Every structure is written in C-alpha cells, then in structure tokens.
Amino acid sequence: MATGILLQAEVPIENADFEIKGHTDGIVQINGVKGILEIKSMNSSGFYSLYVPKDDHLIQVNIYMFCTQIDRAVLLYECKDNQELKEYYCKADTAVLEPILMKIREVQALIKTQKI
C-alpha cells in the first residue's frame, strides 16, 4: 500500500547562476511538510559509529535545499550488511551553505579571469 510520502524520485537539481547540477534521491512530504530525501549506504562499521549526519552529506542536502527552495531534508542511512536504517532530519542552514556558495563564486571569478 502506498503511503504517499514519496512525491518524486530521482529529482534533477539545478541552479544556473551557481552552475550547480545534480539530482536528489527524492522529494518527500511528511505531515504536510516537503523535504529533500537523500539516501546513503555504508558498511556496519561506518553505520554503527554514525551518531550525526556526515558533514559532506549536510553540505549536499543544503545545496539541494537551496536549489529547490525546499527548506527541509531527510538523510536516510542504510547499513549494507543488514539493511538497518537511521534517519536524520535537517533544516536549511546558512552556516553550512554560505561558505560553499562563496567558494563557488571565487572559483567562477578565477575561471572568468583565467587565473586558474
């Protein structure tokens, strides 16, 4: 039976201004609130030592939230060894996003002036 949580799967993500392209695993709606879904898998060693989302994954979902204007995300981690799951709910975080956007602008400027 479908629960209606997954609204879209494999959703393309793009922001032309920042030259960002990618795709998220899905868009979900939980209790009437839309969110980005990102699924990660890892072996049991990594899975059982994970107590908070990995920094790289927080950066990734913050970029996806920025590009989609959806301000929530779910990071779903799966243990490859036994399919056990952990989920972390995230809100858009400018402290995570802003340094990444600044770095993109810096690289764009260097490319434009051919200083790379």
Taking the chain (116 residues) in runs of 10, the rounded mean pLDDT of each run is 79 97 96 96 96 97 98 98 97 97 95 81
- Please tell me the predicted confidence (pLDDT) of residue 116: 61
Beta bridge mates, 85: 78
- Please tell me the predicted confidence (pLDDT) of residue 45: 94
Domain boundaries, the chain: 6-112
Which residues of the chain form beta strands (DSSP E)?
6-15, 20-30, 33-42, 72-79, 85-91
Q: 6-112, what's its fold?
A: Lambda Exonuclease; Chain A (3.90.320)
pTM of the predicted structure, to 2 decimals: 0.90
- Please tell me the predicted confidence (pLDDT) of residue 106: 94
10 Å CB burial of residue 53 (0-12, 13-18, 19+) is: buried
